[in-house]
Structure 1
Amino acid sequence: MKKSTLINAELSYLVATLGHTDEITICDAGLPIPDDVQRIDLALTHGVPSFLETVRVILSESQIEGVVIAEEFAAVSPEHHSALIKELKSEEECTGKSIEIHYVSHEEFKVRTQSSCAVVRTGECTPYANVIFQAGVVF
């Protein structure tokens, strides 16, 4: 049995196969997912698993060098946005590597998900609780 934090087989495989600059999207329960992008659906019920729980697990297993966030997230859901930024800052401190943050409109965000290796759907029901992670390198 796998010993580390991430035990979901699909997510573990996704993280293990990411190359430098590959992107994955972690989204709330309502974000439209393009038909031609792999969907990893974790949603069980409203709020389970949460967006932030899922972010923490992905960060524990992968090196991230950039994120894309919808501009609307900070305005509409400021508490969740602040919590995400705090997680990213904590990750920077732990790894000693910076994480570049890019803001785009929600419409641009949805278009950008089409380039993701996969979209991970959570049970989160907070508006705009979505992020695109760009893979970095550990060396």
Structure 2
Amino acid sequence: MKKHGILNSDIAKVLVDLGHTDKIAIGDAGLPVPDGVKKIDLALTLSEPAFISVLQVVLSDMKVEAVVLAEEIKEQNAGQLAAVKAELTENERISYVSHEEFKEQLKDVKAVIRTGEATPYSNIILQSGVLF
């Protein structure tokens, strides 16, 4: 049995397969997943697991160089935005797009990890960096 890192086999496999600039998303319970994009559903109940908990675990196992958030998070969920920023380093660029544009960008991700999060705009796209 694996001793360290992510135990969820679907998430671990997606992360291992990422190349530089590939993208994944972590979303709240209501985020629509485009046809053809892999959905890894972790939702157990409304609010569980929490978006920020899943983000923390993924960031501990993934080299990220850039993130995309919905512009609406600034006003509609400032607490979640602060929590996200607390998890990021200064090396990770943050871009903001409209929620509609965010949903369009989901067509280009390798997978969407669905959480049970029940607060608005608790969604993020993570762009893979490179370790060297």
- Per the normalisation by structure 2, the TM-score is 0.98
Match of 1:27 in 2: 27
1:1-139 residue pairs with structure 2 within 5 A? 1-89=1-89, 92=90, 98-139=91-132
Equivalent residues, number: 132
Residue 5 of structure 1 deviates from its aligned partner by 2.9
More helix by share: 1
Q: Is the 8 A contact 1:74 1:82 kept in 2?
A: no
Per-residue deviation, 1:4: 1.2
Percent pairwise identity: 48
- Encode CA deviations 1:99-131: one digit per residue, 9 max, x unaligned: 011000000000000100001100000100000
Q: Give 3-state SS (helix, strand or coil) of 2:88's partner.
A: helix
SS of match in other structure, 1:67: strand
RMSD across aligned C-alpha pairs, in angstroms? 0.7
Deviation for aligned residue 1:3: 1.1
> What do residues 24-80 of structure 1 show as CA deviations (whole Å, max 9, x unaligned)?
010000011101100000000011111000000110111000000000011101101
Per the alignment, in what secondary structure is the counterpart of residue 87 of structure 2? helix
SS in structure 1 of the partner of residue 72 of structure 2: helix
Q: Structure 1: where are the runs of 5+ without partners? A: 93-97
